[in-house]
Structures are given as C-alpha cells and as structure tokens.
Structure 1
Amino acid sequence: MPKQAQGTLRRAALLSALAAALWPLQALALAWGIGGWVTEAAPQASLAAAGAFAVIGIVRAVADRIAARLAFHAADGVIHDLRQALLTREARRPGAAASSAALAAMLTEKLAILGPWITRYRPAMARTKLVPLLILALAFYVSWAVGVIFLVAGPLIPVFMALVGMAAKEASARQMVEIGDMNTLLIDRIAALPDILLLNAGDASRAAFEARAEGLRERTMAVLRVAFLSSTVLELFSAIGVALVAVYVGFSLLGEVNFGTWGTGLTLAEGVFLLLLAPEYFQPLRDLAAAWHDKAAAEAVADELDALEADETTPVLGQGARAEPLAGPASVALSSVAVRRGDQLLALPDLDVAPGESVALSGPSGTGKSTALDLIAGLLTPEEGQVTVAGQALACEIADAWRARVAYVPQSVHVPDMTLRRFLDPHDLSADMDAALRKARAEGIVAALPEGLETVLGETGAGVSGGEARRLLLARAFLTGADVILADEPTADLDAANGGAIIDALAALAAEGRTVIVATHDPALSGAMGRVVTVGEGAA
C-alpha cells in the first residue's frame, strides 16, 4: 500500500477511535442528567447535561464523517492505483498466465473487495485497541463486578474471531477462484457463440454454464454461512455480557445485591452509566469481527495479485505510446537470438535484412517464424542475443519510436471499435486513401460495405473475411507510410484469389522500397519475396 494511503488511513483510524472514545463522556452526561432528574435536582443541571450530550454527539458525528471520508478516499486511491498498475503491466505482457476473463474479473469484481477491508478494518482495529480498555478502566472504577464481567466476556470475541477467520479466508479463496472461472467460461462461450449455434450445442453449453453458476452459488453460500455463524456467536457473547451487566445493576439498585462496588452502594447515575457503557464495550469487538471477514476476502484477492505479479513473462518493450518515428535505415538484424519457451530456449537463425529488402521466413510450424516477427516488432524480449533495428539495439527506450515505422499484419486481425476510415488513418494524415486501397487491392472491399469507409466493423471484423481484413491492414501500411512491413502467414487459409491479392499488395510495398518480412508456408508468397530464410529444421 502506498505511503500516502497509509498515512491517510492512520489519520482516519485515529479520528474514528477518538470519536468512539467520546462515548463515555456522552454516557456520563446522560447518566448525570437522568440521576438529577430522578432526584429532583436543579433543572439547570439536567439542561446542562442534555447540552453536553448534544455537543459531544455533534463532535462525534463530525469526526466519524471525516474519518469515513478519509478512509474512502484512501481505498479509492489504492484500488485505482492497483487497477492501473495491473492494466499497464498485463497489457504489455504477451501470453500472460491470466486469461483475459480472469483479468477482467480481477479488475472489476475482485479489486473492489479490497474497499471494505481498507475502509473498515484499520479503523475497527484502532477502536478495538482504545475503546474497550478505556471502558474497562471506567467500569472497574465504578464497579469491580461489572469490570470482571467485561474482562471475562470480552476476550471470548477475538478468540472466536481468529478461529472463524481461518475458515473465512479459505472459503473466500475458493469463491475468488470460482468467480474467475465463471468469467472465463462466459467469455469463451460468447466468443464461440456462432460455432455453438451452428453445431446445435446450445443445450450442452447452457448445462455447462448452469453447473458453473451452481458452483459459484455454493462457494458464495459457504462464505455467507461462515459470516452468519460467526456473527451469531459473537452477538451471543456480547448479548450475554450486556445482560449480565443489566441484571447486576438492576438487582443492585433494588438493594438485592450488596457487593461489586468499592465500599458504597451503586447509585442510579452510576448504574445508568454502566448500562450505557456495556453495549459500547462490545461494539468495537463486533465491528472488528465484521471487518475480519473483509480482511479474509481481501487476503484471498491479495494472494491472486501476488500470483499475477509472480508471472515472469517478459513484458512488451516500450510503453505502447505514440512516438515520433525512429531515425535511421529501415534495417533489421537478429544476432545469436534465443527465446525462452517454458524451460527450453528456442534458438533462431541470424538474420540481416537491408533497407528495402523483402524476405520470407520459411520452415515447419513451431520453429520460430512468428516469434521472429514478434521480436522484430518489440513484442518479445530475447533471452539471449540481440535484435538490432535502424542500426540500434532494440530496447524499451526506442521500441515505441521503432513501432511507429512498422506495420504488422497478424493472422487474426483485431479491429478497434471505430469507423473504417479512422482505423485506416488513425493519425488523420489526410493521405490519398483511394490510392492506398487500390495498391492493397482493397477498393472493392470498401465498396461492398453498407456504409463504405464509415462502416464500423467491430472487434471481430464482422462484414469482411480474414483475407479482406489483412488487405485492409496492408492499405493502412500504404496510407501511414510505414516502411517496415511484418506479415505473419498473410495468405494462410485463403483462396487463390484472396491470397494472390495479398501477394500482389506485399510485392507492391516491396517495389516502393519498403522493408518487407513475412512468415509463411506459401511457396507463391515465398517466391514473390527477394530472399527466403529457412527457420528451424534444415536451416542453413
């Protein structure tokens, strides 16, 4: 937790404890007023007692409000910082251990669970450290019998609270896992919805979802059972303690009990004072018990955060921010590069691509062709060796500037939720869009769309095929002036017409002097490039 948030929480806890510690003064004023009213003392005394009670109550309310506001702002800041740090880290970490659904659950539902713990636990702990001891001392001062009752009943609550806390944390941890699994299943089912409908698998999918929902219900009910059980027992202890004080005070005032005080009998004002102190003696302990469940849930979330932070996947180089293009030649070189895959290192062949050269990376699947492209784009960091771009070692400091010169055409195209015009010209360069579309053999794709360049395709590129989406990306490369083109299996799974159009577009880019590097199994595409480099088995 940041130091600033810790300081704010300390102030909130101190204010909350001081506000609670004012109750004995209120109780004293009320008991004094009631005692004076019954004994028919001067009316001014009762009015003074009522005034003191009201003033102290206002001071308590103001202090409580300020403490709550401080705690809320501290919690809001901590959750915001954690969410931002998690988003920033995971967005730059390719192939991270957490699925997007599990990450979404952490960012939305699970991090929010930290709020009650931050706002309630530390103030409750501060009140518990101060108020019961203060009331215990006052009770012993008035009546040692009531002090003994408090001394015996009070410690039972934290002892039982600790026992319940272990079970609560375990139940909360299972619930957190189930929430993540539920989100993962939901995202998977939404993504596979067209296939589910085509295969008529709706009933099976619904049954799987119902089973997962039932598992989440059971985990949630387990947490609630622990919470209600502990609440019942703690309320029982506090109710017994308050009842014993009430019985003792009542019989003492009736003259049936003649012990428990320091030599003199218990007066009405003293009896009322003790009765008013009794509930507030147990209240901080009850508050801490409730906050203990928040702590158990927060610890379960913290364990998941620690697991995410323990993921050693190397983040993407750079910050992903817009930058001015990196100066220097459009050259690329890989030297003695190896990438870690699990416990093994995948060695890649040395590669030296001159500006304006077109190169095809060929070889069996899984040998590192796509990995080489990711390394060149700064999306992966080599375990060994060096990647050189534009005459400089590719590092975090220049990665964003280098990517400003790169156009990447992946196998699966992701289209942001924006119009096609804005997607093709994200920086509003006002270039000749028609010419770029013609060069990419994509003018017919736009013409066939219902709203042309104003069409919003959506993240899955609905309305265009995979090959058409890749041609649109190539048009974007023409338009933005990217002088390094990386294409990962751009003709995979395409018919001859679409594949040929992409090959022609890549050849046109190379003819304009752009550096073009493709990973492919397609002999026609390899033949259209100026040079073929074999990756993996049989590499020279």
Structure 2
Amino acid sequence: MFSQLRLSQGRGRGSFFQTVASLIWIPQAALLAYSLQMLADGHGVRAVVMPALAIFVLAVARAVTDMIGLRLVFKSARARLGALRANLVQSLAMRSPIDPQRPASGMAASAMAEQTEAVLPYLVRYQPARLRATVVPLVIFAVVFAVSWLAGLILLVAAPLIPIFMALVGWRAKAASDAHMGEIGNMNAFLLDRLRGLTTIRALDAVGATAQRLHDTAQALRRRTITVLRIAFLSSAVLELFAALGVAMVAVYVGFHLLGQLNFGAWSDKLTLGQGLFVLLLAPAFFEPLRELSAVWHDRAAGEAALDQIEQLMQEGMHMPENGLRMVDAVTPARAVKTPPSITIRNLHFAYPDGVQVFNGLHAHVRAGEHVALVAPSGAGKSTLQALIAGMAIAQHGDILVDGVPLQADTVSALRARMAWIGQKPHVFAGSVRSNIALGRKEIGKDDVELALHLAALHKVPQAQPGVMLGEMGGGLSGGEAVRLALARAAANPHADILLVDEPTAHLDRETSEQVMRALLRLAKDKTMLVATHDPALIEQLDRSIVLGEEVRVRA
C-alpha cells in the first residue's frame, strides 16, 4: 500500500500544472531575448511592444497555472493524509486491548498527529518538485543544445553532480530522520505514561527520578533534531554551490564567445546577442528544479521516515501470529436477531506468550438468554476468558461456539458485532455525553441515545444529559455514573445480544452498586450475559455461576 502511495503521489493534475508553469519560462525567455536583439538592431521601442505584451500574458498564465497546480496538490495531499490517518486508526483499533505488544498510547498518538503531519510536506513539496526536476531540465537542455552544443554539454556535465550528491546525502538524512521519528514517539509514550501515573509517582516519591528521565529523553530528542537540521543545511549549501558553478560556467562561455575569444560551441558561426541572452536566461532555470529538489530533500527524508514508522505500526496491527494474542477484526454490521445466542466452550487451552498457562481444557456452556456470573480469584483468567469469547485473543486449542457458529477468522467479525463489552474501567472521552454513547456509530441517532440513557438510569442525572460536555477520563461523572455510561453505550447498540461485563460493581459503594446492578439487569433483558464479578449481591441476582475449574449452580 505504501509503495503505491510513494509512487503515485504528486503525479496527478496538480504536479502537471506546476510543471507546465515552470516550462512557460522558456517562451518568456525567448521573447525577452528577441526584444533585446530587436533593440540592438535599431528597430526601436515599437518593435518590442507586442513581445512585451506576450511576456506579460505568459507571466499571468504562469502564475495562474502554478496556483491551480499548488491548490490541486495540497487538496489531494490533504485527502490522502486523511485516508492515511483513517487506515492507521483502523489498524490500531484492530489490536487486542490485552495484547502486551500493542504500541503505547503516546507513540500511537504521535504517529497519528506528528508523524502523519510530516508526510504533508513530502506530498505537497517533494513529489511535485521531483516531477519538475525530471521533466524541466530535459526540455531546457534540448532547447539550449539546439542553440549551442557547448552550452548544452556544460549543463549536461554539471547536472548529474546534484542528484549524485543528493543521493549520497539522502542515505544519511533518511537514517537521521528515522532515528528522529522514533525518538519523538518514545518521548511521547514516556510522557503520557508518566502523566497517567502522576499520583503513583508522587506517592512513591519518584518525582525527581521521573524529571531526570524526562530531561535525558528531551536532550536525546534535541540532539536528534540538531543532527537532522545540520544535514539539511549543509547539503543545501553544497548543492547551491554546484548550481552556481554550473550557471557561472555557461555565463563565462557565452561572455567570451560574444567577445570573440571563443569562436566555437555554436551550430552557426557565432551566437547572436539574442541567442546568447536566451542561453543565459535558461541556464538558471535549468538548475532551478534541481535546487528546489535539494531544498525539499529533507522533506523527503522526514516524510519517508514517517511513512516507515506508520507502516510498521500498521503491519504490526495486521500481523496474526499462529499462537498467542491476535488482532481484533474490524466489526461488520450485523442484522438484528430475534433470539439471544448460546455460548459453548469446549476443551479450551490458552497461554500467554510468556508461557503462563491460563486455561487447560476448560469446558462451559451458557444457554441462550442466560445470565451467568463468572467467578474466580483475581488473576485466574476471568477477563481473559471474556477476551477469548470476544475474539480479542486466540486460544492455542479448543473451540468457542456462539449460537453454534465457531469463533474463527472468517466468522469473528460478524460474531463480534453481536457483542457488547463493558470493561471494569470504561474510558470516557473528552466530548459530549451523546458522542460518548454513540462513539461515531452513524446508525445511532438522538432517540437511540435518549433510550440508552433511560435504560442505564442516567436520564435524571444532570451531568449525564446528552449535550453536557465531559472531560477526558470521565471528568464530571462519578465512578458509578461512568459505569452506567458504558451500559448506555451497550444499550445503544441495536445488534448486541451478548453482554460481556467485567467487574461492573468493583470499587463502588453499596448504593451505587445497586443502581448499576438494576441498570445492568434492565439492559440484559432478552440478552445472553456473562459477568466477571466478586460481588455476592450481583451473583445472587444472576441465574447461576461458573467457577473456573468447575460449574456451580448458585440459583436455579
């Protein structure tokens, strides 16, 4: 996908218009040289009125063409950047939340914000510049060579020095940009992790150590940045020198030729003043696309480094190992079903990549519409079993059947569309209550949100009204209200007839727990529900319990 992106960017209509704008200078230079020749021949000012008018018209056409090209390139680059971010978000969303190899939140945020933004100059500046550097010098060389073969040879000899040096510099610039992008991601991941754990850091009196670590990371990023900038500035200076020498050599030849000191190098006996001026006007334009390409060479290095980082994140998201944890497939919309499904677990074996065995031949069955408590000591695998049922992890051996359909690669997407996961600590995003319930699902309208709030018993809570803005991590809601907001998310899903609930009443007082239990039982009506819990009051409200290792009926 990324190889196609790199090959296709900047070769559209926008780059074509910008290339045409650069080529318009050739007839402008010819008209200017012709006007000077006419004045030198004594034809007077009248002879240059029409050429001057044509030069003005071409200048306007050149400006308009370049503006159109730049606008088209920028619009196309922004659209492609949006698609890149959407693909990256989808890839990251496909990672299992219990996957220990998933990228840190700070690194993912850096990839979506800073690193994708670094791709924009690569698309807007470098790609069109590369096309102009490919086409414009060749056309100008052909025109100059038709006037003076020696001037053409000078350009032909001087031109390769720039791309050769650019290639040599590019290898070093690419490596420096790769290291720079990686350092940015690592620093963001470190900073976000420490901000989240600020309370713990203060409690452990580790503020000084954390500050020192942050200082060291910032200094490492500073050194990486200086390295990248040093390469960019030094390479630009050297390339400007090569371009200036090339123009100077052409100027020296034309000057001595017109003075009669060099009587060779032209197809005719001697170049006229107009021909000499025409060659001199085209010489800087010959090197201009190459100089521009060298100026944006750093954008190329930074853009490709960013693409490599993003590609690595996406490839990791698409990777599906034979054993251990796996990605979460994208959810496919499911049609509404009339009856809740059953869940059957047969001879289930699961171990984490580090070798810790969680299940070794687990058998269980949850009947259609049954509400079952999953009971086990902390760390015994309650949440892991729910993750396996939800398709967020893959077992080494055994089967999980949902309504008789085995959970496997070709069915997991459709089966997961029938499930709603309510975690122990639901995440609340900065935004309105309505957006936190809908979560971008276009099929969920205003009425669906209102009904979900009623089912979760939040409709009378002032700080949980649809238009109320919430802070990140649930600012504005109590712990119980945040749990009920997660219940409302599940209630708003018209396709969810399986509820996987993880410790909904943990860390809540008795009154709040009872409110959550009532809302949960209302939501679970006509649905199959599996609840991981230690709460005896909640267990009493459910049909029966499954204790890992044995099945015990708590209540008929």
The reply to whether residue 26 of structure 1 matches residue 40 of structure 2 is no
The reply to whether residue 402 of structure 1 matches residue 418 of structure 2 is yes
**Which of the numbers 458, 461, 469 marks the counterpart of 2:471?**
458
Alpha-carbon offset, residue 275 of structure 1 = 1.3
Quote the residue 1:233 is aligned against.
238
Determine helix, strand or coil for the equivalent of 1:415. Answer: coil
The residue identity in structure 2 corresponding to 1:333 is: T
Alpha-carbon offset, residue 38 of structure 1 = 2.5
1:440-455 matches, cutoff 5 A: none
Deviation sequence 1:255-314 (CA, Å, 0-9, x none): 344443346233221221121111111112112223332222222122222212222254
Distance 1:280 1:385 in 2: 70
**Is residue 358–residue 510 contact of structure 1 (8 Å, CA) maintained in 2?**
no
Using a 3 Å threshold, how does the CA distance of structure 1 residues 329 and 220 change in structure 2: closer, same or farther? same
Quote the residue 2:501 is aligned against.
487
Quote the residue 2:328 is aligned against.
316
Distance 2:467 2:86 in 1: 32
TM-score, length of structure 1 as denominator length: 0.82
Quote the residue 2:531 is aligned against.
518
1:297-336 matches, cutoff 5 A: 297-311=302-316, 312=319, 314-319=326-331, 325-336=336-347
The reply to whether residue 376 of structure 1 matches residue 394 of structure 2 is no
**Which of the numbers 136, 143, 148 marks the counterpart of 2:141?**
136
Using a 3 Å threshold, how does the CA distance of structure 1 residues 183 and 464 change in structure 2: closer, same or farther? same
**Is residue 337–residue 349 contact of structure 1 (8 Å, CA) maintained in 2?**
yes
Using a 3 Å threshold, how does the CA distance of structure 1 residues 29 and 468 change in structure 2: closer, same or farther? closer
Unaligned runs of 5+ in 1: none
Using a 3 Å threshold, how does the CA distance of structure 1 residues 369 and 74 change in structure 2: closer, same or farther? same
Using a 3 Å threshold, how does the CA distance of structure 1 residues 455 and 12 change in structure 2: closer, same or farther? closer
Distance 2:202 2:86 in 1: 37
The reply to whether residue 56 of structure 1 matches residue 58 of structure 2 is yes
**Is residue 21–residue 65 contact of structure 2 (8 Å, CA) maintained in 1?**
yes
**88-97 or 516-525: bigger deviation:** 516-525
Alpha-carbon offset, residue 170 of structure 1 = 0.4
Quote the residue 1:288 is aligned against.
293
Alpha-carbon offset, residue 173 of structure 1 = 0.4
Determine helix, strand or coil for the equivalent of 2:471. Answer: coil
**302-311 or 511-520: bigger deviation:** 511-520
Distance 1:470 1:35 in 2: 85
The residue identity in structure 1 corresponding to 2:502 is: D
Alpha-carbon offset, residue 168 of structure 1 = 0.6
TM-score, length of structure 2 as denominator length: 0.80
Distance 1:129 1:223 in 2: 26
**Which of the numbers 57, 66, 76 marks the counterpart of 1:74?**
76
Quote the residue 2:363 is aligned against.
350
Quote the residue 2:88 is aligned against.
86
Using a 3 Å threshold, how does the CA distance of structure 1 residues 46 and 333 change in structure 2: closer, same or farther? same
Alpha-carbon offset, residue 112 of structure 1 = 1.8
The residue identity in structure 1 corresponding to 2:265 is: G
Quote the residue 2:273 is aligned against.
268
Deviation sequence 1:483-505 (CA, Å, 0-9, x none): 7543323455567x479748975
**248-257 or 95-104: bigger deviation:** 248-257
**23-32 or 42-51: bigger deviation:** 42-51
Determine helix, strand or coil for the equivalent of 2:328. Answer: coil
Distance 1:302 1:453 in 2: 39
Determine helix, strand or coil for the equivalent of 1:360. Answer: strand
**Is residue 101–residue 180 contact of structure 1 (8 Å, CA) maintained in 2?**
yes
Determine helix, strand or coil for the equivalent of 1:138. Answer: helix
Determine helix, strand or coil for the equivalent of 2:258. Answer: helix
The reply to whether residue 254 of structure 1 matches residue 259 of structure 2 is yes
**Which of the numbers 190, 210, 219 marks the counterpart of 1:214?**
219
Q: Superposition RMSD on alpha carbons, in Å?
A: 4.1
The residue identity in structure 1 corresponding to 2:328 is: V
Quote the residue 2:441 is aligned against.
none
Distance 1:479 1:122 in 2: 46
Count, aligned residues? 527
Quote the residue 1:41 is aligned against.
43
**Which of the numbers 100, 104, 125 marks the counterpart of 2:105?**
100
